[in-house]
Amino acid sequence: MLEVRGISVRYGQGAPALRSLHLRAGPGQVTAVVGGNGAGKSTLMKAVSGVLPFDGGRLEGGEILFDGRPVHGLGPTALVRRGIAHVPEGRRVFADLTVEENLRAGASTARKDVRASLDEAYGMFEVLAERRRQRAVLLSGGEQQMLAIARGLMSRPRLLLLDEPSLGLAPKVVERIGEIISVIRGSGTAVLVVEQNAAMALAVADDGYVLEQGRVVLSGTAAELRATDEVQQLYLGGSGSAEELLRFADRAPLARWSA
């Protein structure tokens, strides 16, 4: 479904934010990309959703295919129409609009069956149904994140991009976000989720990638990654530097290097 082939991205004259990055996200699957601050996770999402140029970034090489067709030259509106929706980092809801107005803003303009999508969103997120007439600013952080995810689903995407949905949320709410990701997959929408919270992301994902300094250093099924000692140590409780990860990557028995 989504195939990222060797993309490199740079902002201004700085060091590359992504270096020849390869990644696949399969239909109906959850694909997780985990990595620390500045690893390039949001840059990857912005490249796939077409907003990168608005942020001063540029693709310096490689290509992005969706259903086998190149999409890297397209803008965000065209990509939404193709079936890719992006829920950016930091749950940017419209604070002064109501829950329902936020959701309507996520429906693509050509759609006539907004009502049906609203009903679906309210079915999936009960708390949003209860508070549909309240301004988004009154919601808790977790509820705002759910609103941001629900708004992303309003365009009925085939691939939903989630940028750090668990950021700053309490453990119970993070667990709920994980459940929601599973429900979204169950409804047939593929999810590409980037997270610093590797435990959550690798718990719900089918496949995963570990990103460090703009490069994929490990990839495999989520189960393989979870079973890797080094991922456990560095991402699932312990702490560690990018250099350590790069050092162990070539001897991690269950991990596959990306092309």
Ligand X SMILES: Nc1ncnc2c1ncn2[C@@H]1O[C@H](COP(=O)(O)OP(=O)(O)OP(=O)(O)O)[C@@H](O)[C@H]1O
Binding residues for Mg ion (CB under 5 A): 41-42, 89
Tell me which residues in 228-257 interact with ligand X (CB under 6 A).
Answer: none
For residues 14 and 188, which CB has a smaller minimum distance to ligand X in the complex? 14
130 binds, among ligand X, Mg ion, none (CB under 5 to 8 A by kind): none
Nearest distance from residue 230's CB to ligand X, in Å? 19
**Quick check: 17 binds ligand X (CB under 6 A)?**
yes
- Count residues contacting ligand X (CB under 6 A)? 16
Tell me which residues in 87-116 interact with ligand X (CB under 6 A).
Answer: 89
State how far the Cα of 6 lies from the Cα of 62, in Å rounded to an integer: 5
Backbone φ and ψ for 215, nearest 5 degrees, come out as -125, 150
For residues 37 and 239, which CB has a smaller minimum distance to Mg ion in the complex? 37
**Quick check: 56 binds ligand X (CB under 6 A)?**
yes
* Segment interacting with ligand X (CB under 6 A) among 32-40, 169-177, 222-230, 241-249: 32-40
Residue nearest Mg ion, Cβ-based: 42
Task: Tell me the one-letter amino acid at 197.
Answer: N
**Quick check: 38 binds ligand X (CB under 6 A)?**
yes
* Segment interacting with ligand X (CB under 6 A) among 12-20, 74-82, 95-103, 219-227: 12-20
Interacting residues toward ligand X by CB under 6 A: 11-12, 14, 17, 35, 37-43, 55-56, 89, 196
